[in-house]
Chain A
Amino acid sequence: MMRASYNVGNNYMDQCLRTSEATVSNKSGDGLGSLLVIEDALVQSTIISRLGEKMGFSTTTAGSYVEAAMLLQERVFDCITLDLGLGNHCGEEILHLLSVISCKVPILIVSGSEPAVCDEAVKVGKSLGLNIYEPVQKPIDHKALRKTLAEIKQSL
């Protein structure tokens, strides 16, 4: 597994320090694959987390780009789900960030964007050398998400 390590600016760190811990939930379990759910909508992140837990992952939720960047700097995850819309940031910014830290873990886009937009993000991810899976559309296709998470879990 890789360890996130990269330089960040002072403004960024200030932002991180101001970020509320309350929106970061962590249900850790020994021996479980770890899943980072990057999703700014509480309802969606809860659903993805529950499904992840059903598939045997321990889940951590990042509700913003800043929280995600902070968590990726601090910890190692076995799998990442990514929403393409994160407030003022877009998911592709996270893809670039993951590329900068040479992330090789499975990345699964879960998005309500048009399929063409999701496909483009997958192309960008692949061009950046990321281990990116076929996207899951919102409203979340539960079966498709469980199936993909099960495949990923098995591959760990």
Chain B
Amino acid sequence: VTHTARKLGDPMTSNDYDDASPEQAALKPADEAAPGRGNGDHVQPVMDRAVYDELAEEIGEETACEMLDIFLEETVARLALLHRLSCPNDCVQIEREAHSLKGTAGTFGFKQLSKLSRRLEVGASGMSDAEFRMAFGQIEQAFNAARAQLPAQFAVAK
């Protein structure tokens, strides 16, 4: 994993938000427990390492690392954007952002993040703003969990 990925792999702290761009600063960690926990949904693994390894085999380790860096950076910006949106007014844009996040998260094996993004993509048009905020909070937590797991994932690799 590249230097950037390692750095981005560290969970964000309050200081990180203070240092972030205005868009990133709008993205604050969710305070409450993950909504939906214990609701009977099957919980996907945070990261399926085999998916990433297959990708690295296909496109090369270096390119895969670069793409992971880009994904992490783009997702921070995407979540900051989603944070500013609301349902039902912005549901088309919310669906679009959730669609992109779903696909790219799945590409790297971030299954839980991909699943939650799909749920938002499919459901945004019928959500109240409160429901959207709940779904967004889950996505945000899944992303932070995925990012926090990266150092451990790559520490045991090779």
* Residues of chain A having any CB pair with chain B under 8 Å: 41-44, 46-47, 50-51, 54, 85, 87, 112-113, 138-140, 142
Give the interface size bracket for B toward A: 20 to 34
Tell me which residues from 64 to 89 in chain B have a Cβ below 8 Å from any Cβ of chain A. Answer: 67, 70-71, 74
- Closest residue of chain B to A138, judged by CB? B103
Selected A-B contacts with CB under 8 Å, 7 pairs? A43-B107, A44-B103, A47-B59, A50-B59, A112-B103, A139-B107, A140-B107
Q: Are A50 and B63 in contact (CB under 8 A)?
A: yes
Min C-beta distance of A74 to chain B, whole Å: 27
Besides A42-B74, A50-B60, A142-B55, 13 other CB < 8 A contacts?
Answer: A41-B100, A41-B104, A42-B67, A44-B103, A46-B59, A47-B55, A51-B58, A51-B59, A112-B102, A112-B106, A139-B51, A139-B114, A142-B58
Min C-beta distance of B46 to chain A, whole Å: 16
CA distance A51 to B100 in the complex (A): 20
Interface status of B7 (Cβ within 8 A of chain A): no
Q: What residues on A are CB-neighbors of B55 within 8 Å?
A: 47, 142
* Residues of chain B having any CB pair with chain A under 8 Å: 51, 54-55, 58-60, 63, 67, 70-71, 74, 96, 99-100, 102-104, 106-107, 114
Q: Are A46 and B67 in contact (CB under 8 A)?
A: yes
CA distance A85 to B100 in the complex (A): 9
Min C-beta distance of B89 to chain A, whole Å: 17
> Quick one: which of B55, B100, B106, B114 has the most chain A CB within 10 A?
B100
Using A42-B70, A43-B71 as known contacts, say yes or no to A139 and B63 having CB atoms under 8 A apart. Answer: no
Q: What residues on A are CB-neighbors of B106 within 8 Å?
A: 112, 138-139
Min C-beta distance of A8 to chain B, whole Å: 25
Min C-beta distance of B15 to chain A, whole Å: 28
CA distance A112 to B70 in the complex (A): 19
Using A41-B100, A50-B59, A112-B99 as known contacts, say yes or no to A138 and B107 having CB atoms under 8 A apart. Answer: yes
CA distance A44 to B63 in the complex (A): 12
Q: Are A46 and B63 in contact (CB under 8 A)?
A: yes
- Closest residue of chain B to A87, judged by CB? B96
Min C-beta distance of B133 to chain A, whole Å: 24
Nearest 6 Cβ contacts at the A-B interface: A112-B103, A139-B106, A50-B59, A138-B103, A139-B107, A43-B67
